[in-house]
């Protein structure tokens, strides 16, 4: 068993840049926060490698909606970052009402290079009941 102490603080620039890349549908340098061999588990996703994460998120987002991520809470420790927020999902089909589900994400930093995310575990939603 180990103890981790967290500090509630403003989210770092690297995290905001990544969300902005998703919101803008650009998927560019904001994804450089991931180690080349990073693993991402979002819901049922199991993506391996920075480029796979970038491409799979692009493929998902480009399937009919635009996202906007809002920070509610960010908790920081040296090797684990916790993000709680809301994501507004506006659908391309005007018949589908926008939703704003809660999201929770855990970012495990690379032990060799703690400026890079080695594993991203997160969940969004549900988007409705």
Per residue in 36-88, pLDDT tens? 999 999 989 999 999 999 999 999 988 889 999 999 999 999 999 999 999 99
**DSSP of 6-46:** -EE-PPPHHHHHHHHHHHHT---GGGGGEEEEEEEEETT--
Closest CA to 56 of 64, 66, 46: 46
| pLDDT per residue as tens digits for the range 85-115 | 999 999 999 999 999 999 999 999 999 999 9
Q: What is the pTM of this model?
A: 0.94
């Amino acid at each position: 068993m180990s103890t981790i102490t967290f500090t509630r603080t403003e989210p770092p620039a690297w995290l905001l840049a990544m969300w902005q890349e998703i919101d803008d549908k650009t998927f560019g340098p904001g994804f450089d926060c991931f180690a080349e061999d990073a693993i991402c588990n979002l819901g049922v996703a199991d993506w391996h490698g920075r480029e796979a994460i970038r491409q799979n998120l692009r493929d998902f987002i480009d399937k009919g909606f635009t996202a906007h991520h809002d920070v509610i809470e960010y908790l920081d420790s040296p090797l684990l970052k916790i993000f709680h927020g809301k994501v507004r999902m506006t659908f391309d089909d005007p018949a589908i009402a926008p939703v704003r589900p809660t999201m929770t994400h855990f970012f495990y930093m690379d032990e060799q290079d703690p400026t890079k995310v080695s594993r991203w575990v997160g969940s969004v939603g549900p988007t409705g009941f």
